[in-house]
Amino acid sequence: MRILTRRDSAGIGQVWHRTAGLAALLALGLAATGCSGGAAEEKPGREVDVNEEAVELLPDDVREAGRLAVGTNAPYAPMVMFEEDGTTLTGVEVDLMDEISARLGLENDWDNTNWDGLLTALRAGRYDVAIASIGDRPERRDTVDFVDYAVTGMAAVVDPENEGDYSENTDLCGKQVGYQTGVAAESILTTLSETECAEAGLEPISMAGFPDDNAGLLALRSGRVDAHVMDSLSAYFEQSSETGKGSYATVLDGLYHLTPYGIAIDNQHDGLAEAVQMVLNDMISDGTYEQILDDYSVPAAAITEALINGGTQGVVDGTETFEALPESDG
């Protein structure tokens, strides 16, 4: 059986040119859209083979419906964002999830919602899966399983004129630092302030929470914060955007260790996580996964194997291990 996927052979949403790694993003000058909007629209597609073995793993209700309700939280470039129409979703996660579903003989019904309610809506049955740069965290696994698909860390974005002032984490001590509320950055900054800053006899970090990274970056541009801490992949993307060129410099990109992003699936959906894992590993094996990451110039986010609840098992390049994060919602 063959089905159309929304990624055409050239790679839908090819926002960046291919590069060797995150550092090369500094040379790129491409626009990042930051609109609000809804579900993705149909795009030209290409045929893919359906994995019948994986289809057999699907819950009966999902197989019979032929569709997945997918929750996300846009924009969070380059993982999920809007095209120029302000409505159509694109990005790494959109292309990955559409390819996964196509190989399961399914179509996706995308819904963009607030971050704070995303996992609650998943647990309540509003969505079958949620994909929105959600950290695979042990404390979430009582009700949710994760199929890990990427890794990332944290970085700080600052005014380019002040870039030289930031060479180590403690350079954030005594500064006004923004972060998106409810995600890992909040706990990371709190821990840094209470440990490294205190132990060095430095002033604590003055933390400023924002509803999203766009609001935090606006505060940076207007001088209301000295730095904004965010996902390192998104930080480099924003630096290379039309808005970010000359306005942002990404520093301290080792601010926090690698952590996995996982596709969140209610663990009452027996078989769905295993089906998603099977086709994602097929995509890793046949190069489709690598191509999607390359389409958005984030090869550094790649994993070598899709694990279920693998956030503490650690498969990055076959040797690295994910460390435990402080508790947060990110």
Report pLDDT digits (tens) over 252-311.
Answer: 987 776 778 999 999 989 999 999 999 999 999 999 999 999 898 788 788 999 999 987
Strand locations in 89-196 (E): 89-90, 107-112, 129-130, 144-158, 176-180
Cβ proximity of 32 and 233 under 8 Å: no
pLDDT band for position 40 (50/70/90)?
A: very low
- Rounded Cα distance, 135 and 137, in Å: 6
- Rounded Cα distance, 252 and 226, in Å: 14
CATH superfamily of 2-152+259-301: Periplasmic binding protein-like II (3.40.190.10)
pLDDT band for position 8 (50/70/90)?
A: very low
* Placement of tokens 């972060």 in the chain: 179
pLDDT at 9: 27
Longest CA–CA span in the chain (Å) reads 65
Within 8 A by CB and 6+ apart from 223, the residues are none
Bridge partners, 228 (sequence order): 157, 178
pLDDT at 257: 66
Sign of the CA dihedral 11, 13, 18, 19? negative
Cβ proximity of 316 and 132 under 8 Å: no
pLDDT at 26 exceeding the cut of 80: no
pTM value surpassing 0.75: no
| pLDDT digit string, tens, across residues 313-323 | 443 333 333 43
| pLDDT digit string, tens, across residues 154-184 | 899 999 999 999 999 999 999 999 999 988 8
* Placement of tokens 């550092």 in the chain: 23
pLDDT at 234 exceeding the cut of 80: yes
Tell me the average pLDDT across 41-64: 84
Q: C-alpha distances in angstroms, 42 versus 82, 106, 221?
A: 14, 14, 36
Rounded CA Rg of the chain: 19
pLDDT at 99: 98
Tell me the average pLDDT across 65-71: 98
pLDDT at 18: 25
Cβ proximity of 148 and 238 under 8 Å: no
Cβ proximity of 177 and 318 under 8 Å: no
Q: Can 2-152+259-301 and 154-256 be said to share one CATH topology?
A: yes
pLDDT at 187 exceeding the cut of 80: yes
Give me the percent of the chain exceeding a pLDDT of 70.
80
Q: How close are the terminal C-alpha atoms of the chain, in Å?
A: 38
pLDDT at 147: 97
Domain extents in the chain:
2-152+259-301, 154-256
Q: Mean pLDDT of all residues in the chain?
A: 82
Sign of the CA dihedral 89, 95, 101, 107? positive
CATH superfamily of 154-256: Periplasmic binding protein-like II (3.40.190.10)
pLDDT at 16 exceeding the cut of 80: no
pLDDT at 238: 87
pLDDT at 93 exceeding the cut of 70: yes
Cβ proximity of 312 and 138 under 8 Å: yes
